[in-house]
Structure 1
Amino acid sequence: MSSFASWFYEAWPLVLAMGVLILLSAMFSGSEAALFSLSTRDKKLLRRGGIGGKIATRLLADPEPLLSAILFWNLLINMTYFALAAILGSRLEASSGHSAAFFLTASSLLAIIFFSEMLPKSFAVLVPVRLSVALAPPLAMAVRVVSPVLPMVTQANSAIGRLLWPSFQAEPEIDLADIERAIELGTDDAALLQRERRSLRNLVQTAETRVGEWMRPRSKLWLCNEPIHRKTIIDQPMRSGYLMVMDPDEEMITKAIGLRTLRPSQLDNLDGAAESVIYVPWSALVSQVLDRLKEEDRSVAVVVNEFGELLGAVSIDEIMQQILAPHHEEDLRGRAAITQSGPMQYRVWGLTSIRKLIKELGLEIDGEGVTTVAGYVGRYNERLARIGDSAPLDKFVLTVAEEDKDGVWIDVSPQPSDDEAAS
């Protein structure tokens, strides 16, 4: 028997073990590429992928331990693989010489690079959803096995980082003035510069604006009850971009259907096209609502008051439009929401944000927990605003001057002086 045959006869268990290690390394590398390359649409499909899809969704909900476990297992497998390769190389060198040992070592290195890194990751990004569903159960088991060790690994990484970079400090937050300066230096187009400044101002405003000011009131929503029929959409003009589905008691919105993204084939199964909504208080900031919509992958937030009653709704499309392409606030008949009728005299549409009016008047007061101008007058008079009702607002007085089925118009004028009030 030749020296190589004798070597292989003794070494085949180690060669088989190296093959198994390559397959395990390929599984972890492929699962990493598949799970962390999923798009938003892929994650929606993942939730409907049975047990494997639910496990994958749960793993992605906390990605840090998942990634740490994948890297830990890959490192352990690769170290074991190269240890076996070194043992085989030393045995082959003793029986067949340096050239054979060098060839074995180079082949082992190329094999693990190609079969456990390049090939599985290239395949994973082509079918990420299917691979994630298939590999989620064994991956969850692998995460559970090493979960007691992961805190120690995290602390060790933190300690090493502090040792190597003791003076590392986080950069300060970017100031708004710096962003405006960057915009000014980035373009010479005056019109584009103005639009960018407006968008930046609206973006910053989301951190101090309540969602009740940007929501679409309940009376302006397109509401329907289950079951949802095709004729509900086809036989009526489109009132908004979303069809809101009410509960059986018609007290709360439970689902929303994005009409602009519907495919013709989905018109026969509108229940399947409906997605869940989130619920937020009217006092929540727009920036907080936008973060929740992105985190939970939802399109519509239903706004409720402190009693849990439905006030309105806002979609992520409307928020982004308000930031990037704001339009002038108008009533249903296309008239401007705030118009100046004379010196210190204004006419305001009742559904206009009270905060917007306060800014227009240059006042520095709080809106006192209400959203609209009509709501402010109604709260002061303890009833729905009607013609003749008035309410003081700092040095101004608000008076309901016009009423129709769509709402009310309110005149804003300076409060009379003591002499004028006495006369």
Structure 2
Amino acid sequence: MAVSLVCCLIGSAFFSMAETAMMAANRYKLRSLTKAGHQGAKLTTQLLSQTDKLLGVILLGNSLINAAAAALATIITFRLIGNDRLALSVATVGVTFAILVFSEATPKIVAATYPEKLAVAISFPLAALSKVFYPAVWFINLFVRLLLTLMGLGRKPASEQNLTPEELRLLVLEAGPFVGKKHHSILMNLFDLQASTVDDIMVPRRQVEALDLNENAAVLCEQLSTCHHTRLPVYEGSLDSLQGIVHTRKLLNVSRDSIDADAIRSVMREPYYIPAGTPLFTQLQNFQENHRRLGCVVDEYGELLGLVTIEDILEQIIGEFTSNTPSQGGARISHDQAGYVVEGSNLLRDINRRLGMTFPLDGPKTINGLVIEYFQDIPEAGTCMTVAGQRMEILQTQGRSVKAIRIYFPVNPS
């Protein structure tokens, strides 16, 4: 009898361990092992695809064994002591303690610690038991499904059990210690790409380097020989009158004396327009589908706001990989003993990313715009302010904009 009772405790421990291991197993690790040809993982995945049957087998086996253990404890008590109520109470408490310690808590903690390894090993006996207990499990689940239907509950289809984008983002965020720093950064940038628009990264209109067809041939030739880009917008009189985009490489074989407005018109391409507010991920796909590398961002009235290139979007994913041109000097960030010195044209998104700060992104796009919005005016040099917990000082203003700002290092409390 004692041996049978011990066997019942071991059997109960098996089912308790099976329940926790199967439910705690990482589905994605199992899928990865299944694709690699692991038979145990494949069988585990099949069992988990029918959770109602799997739980039916485990709970049925566990309930039968625990009932048998209680009955055996009673029989052993009768044989050793007789029909004594105190002895029966002690035996009941003893069996309950043994089940809790040896058949519930301990095996479940072990299973929660090594879920995938145990689930793969346990899947083979569970698969056999599911065939043996199939009629009983089917009968029990018949009532379970009826009860769930009456409660207005039901099993979700597989499509509803997939991870949402936010859940997937959180999964990648928590996987940081297991992924290379650069890879982790790229993955997180991909999730942020859909939340950013072309307005966040475009080269503002006033910084656009372009060719004016109304200029004489000498000026056009000089601009082409000193430009810092391979593709330039072409306009007539005003940037609102865009004529096309020219690839400077197509003019390399043209002699300097032959470069004029007509020569540029002959090789330029139709401009590619991008509506303001287009998400970066969407625009990356549009660049790919239209076989374009540069687009002109326009507002609802068709006025040019700035330029965006495919390289600008890729840099949002993998980081900067091109050198800055003089027109993009605002991207420079230096530091002194007191803090960081940034130029007013720096994008807030870039400052947050490079310096680990938390400036708000739902308003102005540049730190110059943030300062002007804060003061509702152009502040004088030496003026200080605090935004998003960052102390800043205006170092230089010019005309209608702030040229340089110092962002002080945080002060560590002593």
TM-score, reference length from structure 1: 0.44
What TM-score, normalized by structure 2, do the two folds share? Answer: 0.45
